[in-house]
Amino acid sequence: MTKPILSEPATLTGEEETLSAIVSRLASETRSLATAEVAVYKAKFGETAGAYKSAAMFFAVAGVLALAALIALLVGAILTLATVMGPGWSTAIVVVAVLALAGILAMIGKSKLQTKSEPVS
- pLDDT (tens digit per residue) in 50-73: 888 888 999 999 999 999 999 999
Furthest C-alpha separation in the chain: 107
Average pLDDT over residues 108-118: 79
pTM here is 0.53
- At 51 the pLDDT is 81
- pLDDT (tens digit per residue) in 12-39: 554 577 888 899 899 999 999 999 999 9
Give the integer Cα–Cα distance in Å for 26 and 29: 5
- At 44 the pLDDT is 87
